[in-house]
Amino acid sequence: MQPMLNIAIRAARRAGTIIIRSIEKRQDLHVESKAKNDFVSEVDRQAEAAIISILRKAYPSHAILAEEGGAQKGNEYQWIIDPLDGTTNFLHGNPQFSVSIALTKSNYLEQAVIYDPLRDELYTASRGEGALLNDRRIRVSGLGSLDGALLGTGFPFRMQEHIDTYLNTFKALYPFVSDIRRAGSAALDLAYVAAGRLDGFWELGLKKWDMAAGVLLIQEAGGFSTDFGGGNDYLKTGNIVAASPRIHKEILQTIQPHLSKGLKR
């Protein structure tokens, strides 16, 4: 296993331990609102500090982009961190949240870890070496069309001006699929696509730390991730479609006629 991936796993597990130990006292946690319906707790900050401490000790010259701590300059390597993806779920005791850590080199994704501490499920990927769930190789769904597909999604709570556009894409896809799930942790949703638990996923208005690790997992598991126009600007626009190759094409074709002109694809 790659040394850098090993360090990321250690950091993710340490953050997961902090999160698990805080579950029973979540009602007493200090919580702040970053924006409407966007919260940060002291657990987010503690988990992030633990991750950064481990990464900094191993690789002091690397840059860091973290959800709560912002950007820290460094060399060609950059760690992209979401210490608790699904904070709202965590604060309500809803068991769907995760730790997400990705590493880029010269803007190319190289390593990925998504950790579900409640289920002790560790999703990992290294560029060119495939994707794993708890050391077992995973692949995206083999389903050949949207017929019977189970999709994941997320509401654009950070970009409520686009809610009508989002609902139009939802209504366009819904008649063709088995069902659609909105679980509340985009990182974990993307990991589920990589593992074939979801056949596809789409969302708009995400941040880099929501997507980076999941994108590499899906690529290494044989799937595609693009922006709404079919390009590779999803980390910039925050808009992503991720799925197995056949279903990915169908999702794009289905939602594109319903995208508003003001939406960055």
Residue-level pLDDT at 169: 96
Annotated binding site: 67, 82, 84-85, 210
SS3 of residue 183 by DSSP: coil
The pLDDT assigned to 37 comes to 43
* 2-30 tens-digit pLDDT: 899 999 999 999 999 999 988 877 666 65
- Helical H runs in the chain? 3-22, 42-58, 87-92, 163-173, 186-194, 208-220, 234-237, 245-255
* Cα–Cα distance, 58 to 36 (Å, whole number): 36
Task: Give dist(CA 186, CA 214) in Å, integer.
Answer: 8
Contact 18, 52 (CB under 8 A): no
- CB-CB contact of 190 with 207 (8 Å): no
> Residue 255: how many CA atoms within 13 Å on its side-chain side?
30
For residue 38, name the pLDDT band (cuts at 50, 70, 90): very low
The CA angle 255-256-261, to the nearest 5 degrees, is 120
Q: Which residues are annotated as a binding site for Mg(2+)?
A: 67, 82, 84-85, 210
Cross-strand bridge partners of residue 22? none
**Both tokens of residue 242?**
């991720």
Give per-residue pLDDT as tens, 62-89: 999 997 777 788 789 999 999 999 988 9
- pLDDT, one tens digit per residue, over 213-248 is 999 999 999 999 999 999 999 999 999 999 999 999
- Nearest C-alpha neighbor of 187 from the set 164, 208, 162, 173: 208
- Per-residue pLDDT, 262: 63
Q: Is the pLDDT of residue 250 over 80?
A: yes
% of residues, the chain, pLDDT over 90 = 78
Mean pLDDT (the chain) is: 91
In this prediction, residues 151-175 reach a mean pLDDT of: 90
- pLDDT of 176 > 50? The answer is yes
User: pLDDT confidence of 1, banded at 50, 70, 90?
Assistant: low
CA distance 149 to 178: 5
pLDDT tens digit sequence for 91-132 = 888 899 999 999 999 999 999 999 999 999 999 999 999 999
DSSP secondary structure of 52-106: HHHHHHH-TT-EEEETTTEEE--SSEEEEEEEEETHHHHHHT-S--EEEEEEEET
Calculate helix-pair angle for 3-22, 42-58, nearest 10 degrees.
Answer: 160
Q: Is this prediction's pTM over 0.75? A: yes
**Domains of the chain in sequence order:** 3-137 (3.30.540.10), 150-258 (3.40.190.80)
pLDDT of residue 29: 60
Two structure tokens written together for 152? 């994941």
Of the pLDDT bands very low, low, confident and very high (cuts 50, 70, 90), residue 42 is confident
